[in-house]
A and B are shown apart, each in its own frame.
Chain A
């Protein structure tokens, strides 16, 4: 079936080339049938790449090791869920995923805008097919997912154990959906500039996709953070790692765009800024893919050697140069139509929010790319750690949260000082109350955390007030009961109130971040069974060791050959709180040189953490058992010498028994973090608010509103 996959890629490349040519010819010559044919080329690309990814999925699920990528990243012992997800664990598989998702989202975007903005759509089609063609070409020339092996190995290497977690099965598709969705506003933005039609319509067309990109990227980022926290053995959810940063940057510029586009929609202002944000977001999404896929992160010198580095740099350079050229050459049509009526208006708050978001993006960009540039120039490795990022991002995040509370209570166009003061009193009182409570609770020694809690309380107060007043106004107008009035209010003003819910979610999320990073207790120490350690207010006792053998009985269901762990008793002031069972999985390395027994546990050892998650705190534990003691090492050595491969598991069972009988001291990583759960709760609130904001009103309702507004606009003028 690899032949069918390869044929799909060649066909996809041909379709991209044809579609680009047809779209450009159609728009330049005015022959709409060619532009329409180009648009259909995107649909055809989606069909072809769906077949290609299905071929690869089937190969993984059938353990078809004739496919090189299956042999390299899967095995018979890899659990089925992870076999399915292993498709995107490799370089070539993730390129296919990228191209496939792009083709699906692009098809949806072009289908929804069919019959409208013909010129803009035609250029956007060509650009989207250009991206598709680029990724397909990478697969055809450099990294094909359909390469075959000869002779076909009997067993594969297996999926990297670090990736054998449920969140990793959906994290990459979500993140890549965000990245690929970011290219749609970019394509339409460039299309609008090329067609010289930078009006309200293209903005209306891209708004929903910009929001979808923002939402998907946000969910992808949060799933990555959750994976890092709940699966990896270091106990954190965000490490300012370059890959994390790469996904955060387009999300930040996307957030800025979602705010500033409202100013352009309402006032015809910030056209240059908006189109620049759209282009920057799309380019940052491509740069994010470049960071992960080019090999540049292993070493700056790797990317020249790694085959994908140079093509990616060429694409990014073309995007940046093209964007600058288009914005500069079209500056006459990007002139603003109005000026700010008042410095005290929602427009000016949104402007301030944009400045902070872009400043945040710039700081992260500098901290992520500067070490790479510096290493390229000086040859010396450089890195910027979390303290550097925290120094700049914490104050900016504080301002951002504060602005997200001020914005909703300030009117568009003009707000009087008296009105603003009146609207800010209640949120300020809520923030002040929070401050008093925090000071009484005795947490004055963490000023940034206190400031964040107060800002979040301010946001909750301000949004709470907005909902209260909105419901009150609705009740006064329609005489509805409060729940009905609330429902009607949100349904009739989805963007506004969905956006407010997003603000609440972000405030809650930041509370979780500030609390967990400022008031965390952590301890790393060796314990033997029966011994205890104190972490914060909790006592954690090592009750007994545990061991399971063979992938079939692996309690973590990740396919490890041997899993050693511990039962821990967590108590507070003498009262039992939870029983935890962290473990470490040992995997088959597939390396015969390690011996018949040694290779069964010679792969990467992966920690399976155990935690008690609660509303107020998480107790998080990880274990690193010691299996290199002379007694245990001797079992492996003797097994290697005496046991044939088919009986090697006997030695693993013997090793497990020996470990249970005489457990050596194990290294434990124990963390008590307050309010971590609120990070995930906040994320879910953001997601819910985002869905409300993005969900379209039924067309019948839109028509009804449009007719009513028309009558109202004309009547009003007649009266005036």
Chain B
């Protein structure tokens, strides 16, 4: 029984070492500042899209007047385009 436990423990240890050390054996990669910026902007873009859709649903379900909706929608689209411009800017992060 003790031998079996020792073997099982060693197998587990080997698996753990293999799993943990795999990235250290692979080619090095540097953190990519551009991709980080890109992820942030993409998250902001998706949040803005959601806001635009929510405003439209609020309008269609009678919670916003037409004037208010148009004002809110215009502002939100402006903000969305600003984010899209940042995503497409030559100095900014590249498109996937």
Taking Cβ atoms with an 8 Å cutoff, the residues of A that contact B are 1, 3-4, 7-8, 11, 15, 18-19, 22, 30-34, 36-37, 40-41, 43-44, 47-48, 51, 116-119, 197, 199-201, 203-204, 265-266, 409-416, 418-419, 422-423, 466, 469-470, 473, 476-477, 493, 496, 705-706, 709-710, 712-714, 716-717, 720
- Shortest distance from the beta carbon of B50 to any chain A beta carbon, whole Å: 7
Contact partners of B59 in chain A: CB under 8 A: 411
Closest 6 CB pairs of A and B: A36-B23, A473-B60, A411-B63, A709-B49, A713-B80, A469-B61
* 16 residue pairs bridging A and B, Cβ less than 8 Å apart: A30-B30, A31-B28, A33-B28, A33-B29, A37-B20, A199-B43, A266-B51, A419-B63, A473-B61, A476-B60, A706-B45, A709-B80, A713-B77, A714-B77, A716-B74, A717-B74
- Shortest distance from the beta carbon of A420 to any chain B beta carbon, whole Å: 8
> Are A469 and B16 touching (Cβ within 8 A)?
no
Contact partners of B73 in chain A: CB under 8 A: 716
CB closest chain-B residue, reference A39: B23
> Are B19 and A43 touching (Cβ within 8 A)?
yes
> Are B31 and A7 touching (Cβ within 8 A)?
no
Q: By DSSP majority rule, is chain B's interface helix, strand, loop, or mixed?
A: helix
Q: In the bound complex, how far is the Cα of B61 from the Cα of A422, in angstroms?
A: 11
> Are B81 and A412 touching (Cβ within 8 A)?
no
Q: In the bound complex, how far is the Cα of B96 from the Cα of A378, in angstroms?
A: 65
CB closest chain-A residue, reference B11: A51
CB closest chain-B residue, reference A202: B43
> Are B57 and A416 touching (Cβ within 8 A)?
no
Contact partners of A11 in chain B: CB under 8 A: 9, 12-13, 16
The count of chain B contact residues (Cβ–Cβ below 8 Å) is: 55
- Shortest distance from the beta carbon of B85 to any chain A beta carbon, whole Å: 10
- Shortest distance from the beta carbon of A378 to any chain B beta carbon, whole Å: 51
Contact partners of B63 in chain A: CB under 8 A: 409-411, 415, 419, 423
Known: A33-B24, A118-B36, A200-B44. A47 touches B15 (CB 8 A): yes
Chain B, 1-45, CB within 8 A of any chain A CB = 1-2, 5, 8-9, 12-13, 15-16, 19-24, 26, 28-31, 36, 39-40, 43-45
> Are B5 and A41 touching (Cβ within 8 A)?
no
Q: In the bound complex, how far is the Cα of B9 from the Cα of A34, in angstroms?
A: 25
- Shortest distance from the beta carbon of A22 to any chain B beta carbon, whole Å: 8
Q: Which of A41, A203, A414, A477 contacts B68 (CB 8 A)?
A: A414
CB closest chain-B residue, reference A716: B77
> Are B54 and A416 touching (Cβ within 8 A)?
no
Contact partners of A706 in chain B: CB under 8 A: 45-46, 49
> Are A40 and B43 touching (Cβ within 8 A)?
no
CB closest chain-A residue, reference B85: A714
**4 more A-B residue pairs beyond the given contacts A419-B63, A473-B61, A716-B74, with a C-beta to C-beta distance below 8 A:** A37-B23, A197-B36, A201-B43, A203-B43
Q: In the bound complex, how far is the Cα of B22 from the Cα of A11, in angstroms?
A: 18
- Shortest distance from the beta carbon of A426 to any chain B beta carbon, whole Å: 11
Q: By DSSP majority rule, is chain A's interface helix, strand, loop, or mixed?
A: helix
> Are B55 and A412 touching (Cβ within 8 A)?
yes
Asked if B92 is at the interface (CB within 8 A of a chain A CB), the reply is no
Known: A31-B28, A37-B23, A412-B54. A705 touches B49 (CB 8 A): yes
Known: A30-B31, A713-B77. A200 touches B43 (CB 8 A): yes
> Are B20 and A41 touching (Cβ within 8 A)?
yes
- Shortest distance from the beta carbon of A259 to any chain B beta carbon, whole Å: 14
> Are B16 and A47 touching (Cβ within 8 A)?
yes
Contact partners of A410 in chain B: CB under 8 A: 63
Contact partners of B12 in chain A: CB under 8 A: 7-8, 11, 47-48, 51
CB closest chain-A residue, reference B47: A265
Taking Cβ atoms with an 8 Å cutoff, the residues of B that contact A are 1-2, 5, 8-9, 12-13, 15-16, 19-24, 26, 28-31, 36, 39-40, 43-55, 57-65, 68, 72-74, 76-78, 80-81, 84
Known: A412-B54, A473-B57, A716-B74. A3 touches B2 (CB 8 A): yes
Q: In the bound complex, how far is the Cα of B51 from the Cα of A200, in angstroms?
A: 13
> Are B31 and A118 touching (Cβ within 8 A)?
yes
- Shortest distance from the beta carbon of A211 to any chain B beta carbon, whole Å: 15
- Shortest distance from the beta carbon of B63 to any chain A beta carbon, whole Å: 4
Contact partners of A469 in chain B: CB under 8 A: 60-62
Contact partners of A47 in chain B: CB under 8 A: 12, 15-16, 19
Q: In the bound complex, how far is the Cα of B50 from the Cα of A716, in angstroms?
A: 16
> Are B62 and A4 touching (Cβ within 8 A)?
no
CB closest chain-B residue, reference A489: B57
> Are A201 and B40 touching (Cβ within 8 A)?
yes
Contact partners of A477 in chain B: CB under 8 A: 60
Contact partners of B76 in chain A: CB under 8 A: 713
Q: In the bound complex, how far is the Cα of B65 from the Cα of A21, in angstroms?
A: 56
Contact partners of A51 in chain B: CB under 8 A: 12
- Shortest distance from the beta carbon of B36 to any chain A beta carbon, whole Å: 7
Known: A30-B30, A30-B31, A47-B15. A714 touches B43 (CB 8 A): no
CB closest chain-B residue, reference A720: B74
Q: In the bound complex, how far is the Cα of B31 from the Cα of A240, in angstroms?
A: 50
- Shortest distance from the beta carbon of A474 to any chain B beta carbon, whole Å: 8
- Shortest distance from the beta carbon of A106 to any chain B beta carbon, whole Å: 15
- Shortest distance from the beta carbon of A403 to any chain B beta carbon, whole Å: 16
> Are A40 and B28 touching (Cβ within 8 A)?
no
User: Which interface residue of B13, B20, B45 has the most chain A CB atoms within 10 A?
Assistant: B20
> Are A199 and B40 touching (Cβ within 8 A)?
yes
- Shortest distance from the beta carbon of A91 to any chain B beta carbon, whole Å: 25
CB closest chain-A residue, reference B49: A709
Contact partners of B21 in chain A: CB under 8 A: 37
Q: Which of B31, B54, B72 contacts A496 (CB 8 A)?
A: B54
Q: In the bound complex, how far is the Cα of B7 from the Cα of A555, in angstroms?
A: 45
Q: Which of A40, A119, A266, A415 contacts B22 (CB 8 A)?
A: A40
Q: In the bound complex, how far is the Cα of B68 from the Cα of A107, in angstroms?
A: 45
- Shortest distance from the beta carbon of B81 to any chain A beta carbon, whole Å: 5
Contact partners of A1 in chain B: CB under 8 A: 1, 5
> Are A413 and B40 touching (Cβ within 8 A)?
no
- Shortest distance from the beta carbon of A716 to any chain B beta carbon, whole Å: 4
Q: Which of A3, A118, A419, A716 contacts B64 (CB 8 A)?
A: A419
Q: In the bound complex, how far is the Cα of B11 from the Cα of A8, in angstroms?
A: 11
Q: In the bound complex, how far is the Cα of B29 from the Cα of A37, in angstroms?
A: 13
Contact partners of A31 in chain B: CB under 8 A: 28
- Shortest distance from the beta carbon of B60 to any chain A beta carbon, whole Å: 4
CB closest chain-A residue, reference B54: A412
Known: A117-B39, A706-B46. A40 touches B62 (CB 8 A): no
> Are A18 and B20 touching (Cβ within 8 A)?
yes
User: Which interface residue of A4, A116, A411 has the most chain B CB atoms within 10 A?
Assistant: A411
